[in-house]
Amino acid sequence: MLRTIADTADKYEAAAIKLTSAQRVCIIGLKEDDIDNAWDDLGMKPAAAIGPCVRSIKICPGTTFCKRGQQDAVTLGLELDEKYHGMQLPSKFKIAVSGCMNSCSEPAVRDIGIMGTPKGYTVMVGGNAGIRPRLGDVIADELNDDEVKELVDTIVSFYKTHAKNIESDA
């Protein structure tokens, strides 16, 4: 995959390849006319990088790759990414999943933070690392994967219905 990304960046004479804080690989400096072809070459569906939507779910290596992992953050995070990434909401919306309480993916400062513990997942809401940082409130703990997914569904549905679009009010 890294070779494909590098080849695509070369082919379209990108200015740079960047690793983002959300753990994505960003090809910078493509011409607008080349973007659709670049996605085809990468063999990926276009990502939702900006705008009022769910951003890519930030995950840590969890039990898949990390010796400290207590929960499988990779599987849960990718399932959530598949379902929510790009979903249009009243404002941008960030979700993170960590495999243990070391919180390398920073779940405490995401709109929904899902933190692995020895007894399951703790779920936080309302965290933010922006201009006015805030730690999320813990609303549930000791959840299994299915319970987390059900709760995330409820939170996202509530947000979709009740959140205020501050961008359109500005």
Residues that bind ligand SF4 (CB under 6 A): 60-62, 66, 68-69, 98-100, 102-104
Round to whole Å and give the CA distance between 56 and 24: 8
Name which of 62 and 125 has its Cβ closer to ligand SF4: 62
Name which of 43 and 118 has its Cβ closer to ligand SF4: 118
Q: How far is the CB of 114 from ligand SF4 (least distance, A)?
A: 11
Q: What is the DSSP letter of 46?
A: P
Q: Cα separations (Å) of 74 from 4, 114, 129, 148?
A: 22, 12, 22, 14
Name which of 34 and 72 has its Cβ closer to ligand SF4: 72
Handedness of CA 121, 58, 69, 61 (dihedral sign): positive
Name which of 68 and 92 has its Cβ closer to ligand SF4: 68
Handedness of CA 111, 86, 143, 155 (dihedral sign): positive
Query: What does the block give as tokens for 152?
Result: 């995330």
Q: How far is the CB of 74 from ligand SF4 (least distance, A)?
A: 9
Q: How far is the CB of 57 from ligand SF4 (least distance, A)?
A: 14
Q: What is the DSSP letter of 111?
A: S
Q: How far is the CB of 77 from ligand SF4 (least distance, A)?
A: 10
